[in-house]
Each structure stands twice: as structure tokens, then as C-alpha cells.
Amino acid sequence: MSAVALPRTLPAWTWPLAVLVIAFGVVPFVASGYVFDALLIPFLALSLAAVGLNLLTGYAGQLSLGTAAFMAVGAFAAYNFNLRVEGLPLLVSIGLAGLAATAVGLVFGLPSLRLRGFYLAVSTLAAQFFVQWALTKFSWFSNDNASGVIDAPSLEVAGIVFDTPVGRYIFSLSIVTVLTLLAWRLVRTQTGHHFIAVRDNELAARVIGVPVLRTKLLAFAVSSFIVGVAGVLWGFVYLRTVEPAGFNLDRSFQILFIVIIGGLATIRGAFFGAALIVVFPLLLSRVGSFLFGGWFDSGVLDMSQRIVLGALIIFFLAVEPQGLVALWDRARKRLAPA
């Protein structure tokens, strides 16, 4: 046996790099409009939101149910910056929208200094209700549109218009890549370690000199920024129209489930979870209507897909409570040569 000895472990960045090369270099040439507009773009937007929430909940241990509210702040802020400041580049309004979400996130993060766990989760619900109420109550936010619905501007950066399916995909992918890399970098710094210390044992963290209050607020700030930008992607790039009711508690729960199913405290988990929640139901519905479409109406099929998806989620979590990421890692270890 004189096999060439391959290095047992590849560098950590190999996989992400490979994914990026495929995402930027291959996917735009092979996928169809449907795949971009109905699968990949919502997948990217929700993944980014989950990355944001994961920083807060997975890494820093602050349970939040206000994610959709911060997405709404982002979307409506970007709309208003874009509408009201003449000549403001789109990317700048998106950045400002993220900052607006950060500001709101900081306000609703303040209770975290006194509250923990479920109590904090319930207090972040306030963000959920307050933001929807404010956006509905003050019609200024929606430029006095009677129904409270706003239209997205065209996606133009430095004279290039991203209004084809591929263009929109590249636009979201670039933003998601940059922010994900920043998040990935952040959790590997001292601050990231502070997040984890606060999550694991607040008292111990305080004893070893972690600035607990500052760390918690920072987690809220960074997380809200990313979630706010995800809201812009959801509203401007995916739906291309936004109404406050689209960012309701269901959406907050959806993103929380993505984080839990994907795997808490992993950046990859956000993408795994989003894939399961966004893509899998569609796949089920296509298979379902192909197999049984002639026998049941679409309503019955839809209900049964929910049952299947629910059962699968319970199964995944029962087999691997650490989420899909852990499942994936275990599968890879088992397949790898011993």
C-alpha cells in the first residue's frame, strides 16, 4: 500500500471558498429565473437574517423574538432614505438603513441588561408590536400610501442596474457574502469570545473581566444591523414591495427556527437552516403535486406538506439537537477515509 498521503485536513477556508466560487462563478450561468427569484433570493435574505440573529442568540445567548421588526425597520428606512434624499446611492441608503435598525435594536436591547432568557424574549416582543404599530400609524413612513404598501426602487449601483433575476441574485449574494464574512471574522475576535463568555456564564464572564453590559449591547447592535440589511433584501430584492404586516411575529419565529434547526452558534447553520425552511417545502410541494396532484386538491396537499415538514424537523432535532451543521459534520467524518 503506497498511496500518496493526502493532507488529512484541508484549511478551514477551503469549503467556504469553494461555495463562493460556485455561487458566483457557476450558478449565474446554469440556474433559471425561477431558481433565482423564487428560491435563491429569499434563501439569501433569510440566511442573512439568520446570521444576524445567530450572533445575538447563538453566540451571545440573548433570545430575541423581534427579528422581523428589525427587518421592517431596515426595509422602511432604506425606502425613506432613498425616497427623501435626492441622489443618495442605493448602497449608502442600505447602509443607513442598517444603522437605523441598529439604533432601534439598541433601544430594545436595553432590557437585556436586567432580563434574561424567556423574560428577555418576551420583552423583545415589544419591538415586534411597536415597530408594526408605528409603521402603520404614521403614514409618513410609507409616503402616505393609503394601504401602507411601498414599492422598491430599481437596484442601481454606480450606474449598473441589477434588475434581471441574475442581477438581483448577484446583488444579494454580494451583500450577504460581505456581511457574512464580517460576522465570521467577528466571532473569531476577542469580542466574539466575549459573546460566548456572556452566553455560557454571565457571572464567570464578569469575574474574568468581560464588560458584560457593553458586550450585550454590542451583540444587539451588530445583530440588528445585519437583520436590517436582510430586511432590505427581502423587501427590495425579493418581494419588491413591502407592507408592515409582512414582517409579523411569524417571520420572527421562522428565523428563530432557521437558527435552531441549522445549529446555534455556527455561521454555516444559518444557511443550512434557511435551505431547509425555504427550499425544502417547495421541493415537497413539487413532489407532492407530481405524485398525488390528480387525487387531492392543492389545499389538502399543502396541509400534508406541513405535517411532513413538521415531522422532519422533530426528527432532525431528535437525532441531532445541535442542528443540521452537526449532522453534516458527523456525516462527513463517517464518509471520510479513516
Partner 1 sequence: MSFLKHLKTAALAATLSVAGLQFAHADGNEQFFPLQSYRVGPYAAGGTGFFGGFIDYLNLVNTRDGGVGGVKLTWEEGETQYEVERGVEVYERLKQRPGIATWNPLSVGIAYALIDRVTADKVPLLTINHGRTDTTDGRVFKYIFPLLLNPYSETSGIVNYIAGKEGGTDKLKGKKIVVLYHGSPYGKETIPVYELLAKKYGFTLQQIEVPHPGNEQQSQWLTIRRVKPDYVVLRGWGVMNPVALKTAQKTGFPVDHIVGNVWSNSEEDVIPAGDAAKGYVAITTVAAGAQYPVLQDITKVVYGAGKGNLQDTKRIGSVYHNLGVLNGILNVEAIRIAQAKFGKRTLTGDEIRWGLENLKIDEARAAALGAKGLFHSINVTWDNHEGDGRVAFQQWDGSKWNVVSDWIAPDWKLLRPIIEKSSLTYAKEKNVKVRKSIDD
Nearer to partner 1, 141 or 225 (CB): 141
201 binds partner 1 (CB under 8 A): no
149 binds partner 1 (CB under 8 A): yes
Near partner 1 by CB under 8 A, which window of 8-16, 49-57, 172-180, 240-248?
Answer: 240-248
| Shortest separation between residue 233's beta carbon and partner 1, angstroms | 13
Near partner 1 by CB under 8 A, which window of 100-108, 169-177, 279-287, 317-325?
Answer: 279-287
CB 204 within 8 A of CB 196: no
147 binds partner 1 (CB under 8 A): yes
Near partner 1 by CB under 8 A, which window of 180-188, 216-224, 260-268, 290-298?
Answer: 290-298
Near partner 1 by CB under 8 A, which window of 16-24, 85-93, 103-111, 237-245?
Answer: 237-245
241 binds partner 1 (CB under 8 A): yes
| Shortest separation between residue 243's beta carbon and partner 1, angstroms | 5
Its sign, for the CA torsion 197, 202, 203, 208, is positive
91 binds partner 1 (CB under 8 A): no
The residue within the footprint of partner 1, chosen from 38, 103, 166, 196 (CB under 8 A), is: 38
Binding string, 124-143, against partner 1, x = CB under 8 A?
------------x------x
Nearer to partner 1, 35 or 317 (CB): 35
Separation in Å, CA 8 to CA 207, 323, 327? 40, 25, 20
Cell 418581494, located at residue:
239
Burial readout 38-68 (b: 16 or more C-beta within 10 A, e: otherwise): bbbbbbbbbbbbbbbbbbbbbbbbbbbbbbb
Near partner 1 by CB under 8 A, which window of 86-94, 105-113, 192-200, 236-244?
Answer: 236-244
Nearer to partner 1, 231 or 263 (CB): 231
Please name which of 191, 204, 252, 214 lies closest in space to residue 59, comparing C-alpha atoms.
191
84 binds partner 1 (CB under 8 A): no
Please name which of 37, 19, 93, 58 lies closest in space to residue 255, comparing C-alpha atoms.
58
CB 153 within 8 A of CB 90: yes
Separation in Å, CA 2 to CA 7, 8, 10, 335, 338? 15, 16, 21, 21, 16
Q: What is the DSSP letter of 241?
A: E
In one-letter notation, the amino acid at residue 55 is L
338 binds partner 1 (CB under 8 A): no
Nearer to partner 1, 31 or 121 (CB): 31
Separation in Å, CA 26 to CA 45, 119, 248? 20, 46, 35
Nearer to partner 1, 56 or 173 (CB): 173
What's the grid cell of residue 299?
389545499
Nearer to partner 1, 195 or 234 (CB): 234
Nearer to partner 1, 163 or 200 (CB): 163
253 binds partner 1 (CB under 8 A): no
In one-letter notation, the amino acid at residue 57 is T
Please name which of 329, 252, 320 lies closest in space to residue 70, comparing C-alpha atoms.
252
# binding residues, partner 1 (CB under 8 A): 39
The distance of Cα 47 from the centroid of its chain, to the nearest Å, equals 4
In the complex, which residues of this chain contact partner 1 (CB under 8 A)? Answer: 31-35, 37-39, 42, 83, 136, 143, 146-149, 151-152, 238-241, 243, 245-246, 282-283, 285-287, 290-291, 297-303
